[in-house]
Amino acid sequence: MSAGMQVKLLRVLQNREVRPVGAEASLRVDTRVVAATNRDLRVEIAAKRFRDDLFYRLNVFHLNIPPLRERKEDIPPLARFFLEQASQRMGKRARGISDQAWGLLMNYAYPGNVRELENAIERALVLADDDGEIKTWDLPPEIAEQEVPQLPEAPDALGDVTRGAGPGALDSGYPADLTLEEVEARHIRRAISRHQGNLGRAAKGLGISRTTLWRKMKKYGIEGVS
């Protein structure tokens, strides 16, 4: 928002009046403003690009929405919703997403946030076979060709199930009969162990915030060290 427009908006919020173009008198208005930004406004204020008085006028109730990479538990419901919407819009059957494709979707960092996930699902459905199931090769190259970390559990936890150990194992090194939540819980435990219990480094390695890591640890009953 330009500096001049910031002044005008501040005046409207303070005086609760608007003067339409060409009018001789102002009109009283009763509005509720919802403002959104993808920038740190305190940094913008320090750089003299945003007015601090307008910031405090707008910042009555602040809601922070973390990027999708920090709330990966939202990926499955969002992906299913986008898949259903795309299916209805295209008139094409959507049977679901393969386990391998789910793994790639859950591991990706989504620099384009939720919109990128939506576009990826729509593209995948366009390319999907007539059976309606999205496979890894239907996903965009930046998702399908990413290097998924291989984190097999220690032998005492998984026995002899290792990468390439046959039909009982996934490419990730986890048994094929585990649920997505069980795989996630083991993945988190492995990351915490790898970082000697340092939750800050474990969260960074997992690509999520420390708050999200704590929430998942509580969900799965995982104990941390620091």
Q: What is the CATH number of domain 68-144?
A: 1.10.8.60
Indicate if 155-220 has the same CATH topology as 68-144.
no
Is it the case that residue 150 has pLDDT exceeding 70?
no
> Which of 52, 53, 12, 55 lies closest to 32, judged by CA?
12
pTM: 0.54
Q: What is the pLDDT of residues 102-129, one digit of tens each?
A: 888 988 999 999 999 999 999 999 998 8
Contact yes or no for 95/89 (Cβ under 8 A): no
Contact yes or no for 12/5 (Cβ under 8 A): no
Q: What is the pLDDT of residues 24-41, one digit of tens each?
A: 888 898 888 899 888 889
Q: What is the pLDDT of residues 156-210, one digit of tens each?
A: 333 333 333 333 334 445 566 667 778 888 888 888 888 878 888 888 888 787 7
Mean pLDDT, all residues of the chain? 81
Is it the case that residue 94 has pLDDT exceeding 80?
yes
Which CATH number fits the domain 155-220, given the four candidates 3.30.70.890, 3.40.190.10, 1.10.10.60, 3.40.50.720?
Answer: 1.10.10.60
Is it the case that residue 136 has pLDDT exceeding 80?
yes
Contact yes or no for 87/94 (Cβ under 8 A): yes
Q: Give the residue extent of every domain in the chain.
A: 3-58, 68-144, 155-220
Q: What is the pLDDT of residues 38-71, one digit of tens each?
A: 888 999 999 999 999 999 999 988 888 888 988 8
Predicted local confidence at residue 84, as pLDDT: 93
Q: Are strands 133-134 and 96-97 parallel, antiparallel or unpaired?
A: parallel
175: phi then psi, degrees, rounded to nearest 5: -60, 145
